[in-house]
């Protein structure tokens, strides 16, 4: 039995459709109820919905053999897992944004507001830039407006929220999308099953490109 952790929400539904098209359907998942675990004995798969940011933990700890997590979560928490496939879903980017008129002259410590403290710290460490990280949990965009920070590091999809708050992207750190991940130990013992799924989903991704 292969345990598959899917992220709750619209992304998870799209991902499930890919698994279904790959021949690993589980009809009970579409029933309108509050169940979180769904099993198809015949196909030897068990799906469960979890909070998107928790998928990597379920996979790393082996409660799920494979799962789908955003690259932002993988970069922030660096779980010890295999990252087998880029699903090209939920595409966006991790970027540094600031008020349109802001210019970093590098003369003082840069104040950075973000939910993604590790990503921000690693990015600025690679540039050798001294920063002060301000950890926020939401509404990051208002931090530079209220002078809480100079810049923000956050996920940017269309850039509309930034624009409406007179902010703009100053630099892109890394492209983000949903990734299919596997527990390392599961890959050793259920590798054939996992590779079959990966191969089939890879074909769908390539056909969609």
Residues that bind another protein in the complex, under the rule CB under 8 A: 60-62, 80-86, 126, 175, 183-189, 191
Rounded CA-CA distance 52/74 in Å is 11
Min separation Cβ 161 and another protein, Å: 26
Q: What is the DSSP letter of 17?
A: H
CB-wise, 82 or 148, nearer to another protein? 82
Q: How many CB atoms lie within 10 A of CB 104?
A: 14
CB-wise, 96 or 143, nearer to another protein? 96
CB-wise, 106 or 191, nearer to another protein? 191
CB-wise, 107 or 206, nearer to another protein? 206
Min separation Cβ 4 and another protein, Å: 15
For residue 144, the SS3 value is helix
Min separation Cβ 189 and another protein, Å: 5
CB neighbour burial string for 14-52, b if at least 16 within 10 angstroms, e if fewer:
bbbebbeebebbbeebeeeeeeeebbbeeeebbbbbbeb
Min separation Cβ 125 and another protein, Å: 12
CB-wise, 84 or 148, nearer to another protein? 84
CB-wise, 9 or 175, nearer to another protein? 175
Min separation Cβ 60 and another protein, Å: 7
Contact 66, 181 (CB under 8 A): yes
Q: CA 112, 117, 120, 125: dihedral to nearest 10 degrees?
A: 100
Rounded CA-CA distance 175/88 in Å is 10
Output the CA torsion sign for 197, 199, 202, 203. negative
Min separation Cβ 42 and another protein, Å: 23
């Amino acid at each position: 039995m292969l345990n598959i952790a899917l992220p709750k929400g619209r992304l998870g539904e799209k991902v499930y459709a890919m698994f279904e098209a790959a021949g690993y359907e589980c009809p009970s998942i579409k029933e309108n109820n509050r169940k979180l675990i769904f099993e198809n004995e015949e196909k030897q798969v068990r799906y469960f919905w979890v909070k998107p940011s928790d998928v990597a933990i379920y996979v790393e700890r082996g409660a799920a053999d494979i799962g789908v997590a955003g690259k932002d979560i993988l970069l922030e928490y660096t779980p010890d897992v295999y990252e087998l496939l880029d699903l090209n879903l939920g595409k966006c980017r991790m970027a540094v944004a600031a008020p349109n008129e802001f210019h970093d002259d590098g003369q003082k410590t840069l104040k950075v507001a973000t939910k993604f403290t590790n990503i921000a710290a690693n990015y600025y460490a690679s540039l050798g830039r001294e920063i002060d990280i301000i950890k926020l949990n939401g509404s990051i965009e208002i931090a530079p407006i209220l002078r809480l920070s100079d810049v923000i590091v956050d996920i940017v999809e269309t850039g509309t929220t930034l624009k409406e708050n007179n902010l703009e992207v100053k630099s892109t750190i890394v492209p983000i999308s949903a990734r299919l991940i596997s527990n390392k130990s599961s890959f050793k013992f259920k590798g054939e099953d996992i590779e079959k799924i990966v191969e089939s989903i890879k074909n769908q991704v390539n056909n969609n490109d």
